[in-house]
Amino acid sequence: MFIDTHAHLDFPELQSHLEAVLQNAALAKVTYINTIGIDAATNQNAVRIAEKYDNVYASVGWHPHDAARADSNLENHIRELAKHPKVVAIGEIGLDYFRDLSPRDIQRDIFARMLKLANELDLPVIIHCRDAYQDLFKILRENLTEKSRGGFHCFSGGIAELREVLEMGFLVSYTGNITYKNSILIPTVKATPIDKTMLETDCPFMTPHPHRGKRNEPAYVPLIASKLAEVKELTIDDIARVTSYNAYKLFGIGTSPERSITYQIRNSLYIALTSRCTNKCSFCRRYTEPFVKGHNIGMSRSEEPSAGEIMTAVGDPSTYEEIVFCGYGEPTLRLETMLEVSKRLKDSGVKRIRLNTNGQSDLIHRRDIVPDLVGLIDTVSISLNESTADKYQNIVNSNFGSEAFNALIEFAKRCVTSLPEVIFTVVSYPGVDLEGCRAIADRVGAKFRIREYNEVG
């Protein structure tokens, strides 16, 4: 399922055969479309189309190109339309110094007025920005409130602009221009956390390759998704799921994913055994938002799955490259269940089973569990996090206090002697002693992997 978060369905090229356009979208699994207004007439059209079609939502705004045409009634016009339950955002709004179709001071004034209105209505904004980032960021910052949220559509900024967008908590959406040969946007796309990315066509403009030069339509979203999958080294299913969840969170379009015991990312199948953990890491999202790459994996203690439930959820394990015990909790807290599932998976021919752990099982079980893992777990991936006991405890807040770090190191050493593969992972949080961590991995004989701190899963 895909969501086209930015389309202009009322433009003549699309409006003239809208039924066919919507049918094409459905066939391409583009389930929801957000159609965008740019001035009084198109705002009204957008709402009218959203009213007619269940899967179409509308956004109403005032494009910077048309800033000079706005009058004092602008706010009332938008307020009136925004009462409609299918209006999900204020947009598009922004600044365009590339085409300069309205005087810049008027563009800035209208943009600020629209931001204030979005705050008043508590709606997200959809921002259009061309060659005007510094002015735009300034106005946006002046109008930010606790609840401000939104997305930069057809994002064309560089890494520095991206950082600023992310720092304000905003998302970006990418369009067909990322599919063009030698697109200069690729480094920016690569640097964008997938959790902050949405898809859009901006149709009828920005037609993706290989239809460039022809009319664009929502059915082409998968072409953009496929390019994104290539750049982000994910599958197109991953892209579809994560970007849809992002659009759901921002605009309320679609539905929230149901909780799942197993979840696929790339070709790996992950199993969530528990959400309990002996750590309380500063960066962990299990309390605030227990989602990973669009999968909802939070659970209470009473919802923890049995071995039988897990096996049912796994289905046919032969379709995956590896099975991973992970989730937002510490898998070894459910050692018995984990071992039973591993045994059943091994019996059915699974070659690679990985355990992602905080390495504190010695303290959890008051004994050495490594012998139990032999023959069942092929890879143990341990979150090392930092290079000394103090710094480690600062980040993870282990229930076991200062004992935790040494226990982790001792556990890792025994894993290295008994199991095929042991990896230390470190999240590249600002200030983390990566080289110190790498030295520990070398000393223990474990492999070393750095994880981007803004990419979960």
Q: Which residues bind Zn ion (CB under 5 A)?
A: 92, 128, 202
Question: Smallest distance from the beta carbon of 203 to Zn ion, in angstroms?
Answer: 9
Q: Which is nearer to Zn ion, 206 or 370 (CB)?
A: 206
Q: Which is nearer to Zn ion, 92 or 362 (CB)?
A: 92
Q: Which is nearer to Zn ion, 39 or 330 (CB)?
A: 39
Question: Smallest distance from the beta carbon of 335 to Zn ion, in angstroms?
Answer: 53
Question: Smallest distance from the beta carbon of 4 to Zn ion, in angstroms?
Answer: 11
Quickly list DSSP for 105-126. HHHHHHHHHHHHHHHHHT--EE
Q: Which is nearer to Zn ion, 202 or 330 (CB)?
A: 202
The whole-angstrom separation of Cα 305 and Cα 310 is 6
Please give the C-alpha separations between residue 48 and each of 23, 53, 56, in angstroms, as whole numbers.
18, 9, 10
Buried b (16+ CB within 10 A) or exposed e, 192-214: bbbbbbbbbbbbbbbbbbeeeee
Question: Smallest distance from the beta carbon of 14 to Zn ion, in angstroms?
Answer: 12
Question: Smallest distance from the beta carbon of 139 to Zn ion, in angstroms?
Answer: 17
Q: Which residues fall within 8 angstroms of residue 448, CB to CB, at 6 or more apart?
A: 423, 424, 426, 437, 438, 441, 442
Q: Which is nearer to Zn ion, 5 or 148 (CB)?
A: 5
Question: Smallest distance from the beta carbon of 269 to Zn ion, in angstroms?
Answer: 38
Burial class of residue 24 in the structure, from the number of CB atoms within 10 Å of its CB (0-12 exposed, 13-18 middle, 19+ buried): middle
Question: Smallest distance from the beta carbon of 93 to Zn ion, in angstroms?
Answer: 9
The whole-angstrom separation of Cα 344 and Cα 366 is 26
The whole-angstrom separation of Cα 340 and Cα 318 is 18
Please name which of 421, 429, 418 lies closest in space to residue 452, comparing C-alpha atoms.
429
Q: Which is nearer to Zn ion, 99 or 343 (CB)?
A: 99
Q: Which residue is nearest to Zn ion (CB)?
A: 128
Residue 338: HSE in the Cβ half-sphere, 13 Å Cα cutoff? 29
The whole-angstrom separation of Cα 24 and Cα 15 is 14
Q: Are strands 447-451 and 421-427 parallel, antiparallel or unpaired?
A: parallel
Q: Which conformational region is residue 374 in: left (phi greater than 0), alpha (psi within -120 to 50 degrees), or beta?
A: beta
Q: Which is nearer to Zn ion, 243 or 393 (CB)?
A: 243
Question: Smallest distance from the beta carbon of 157 to Zn ion, in angstroms?
Answer: 13
The whole-angstrom separation of Cα 452 and Cα 62 is 37
Q: Which is nearer to Zn ion, 34 or 143 (CB)?
A: 34
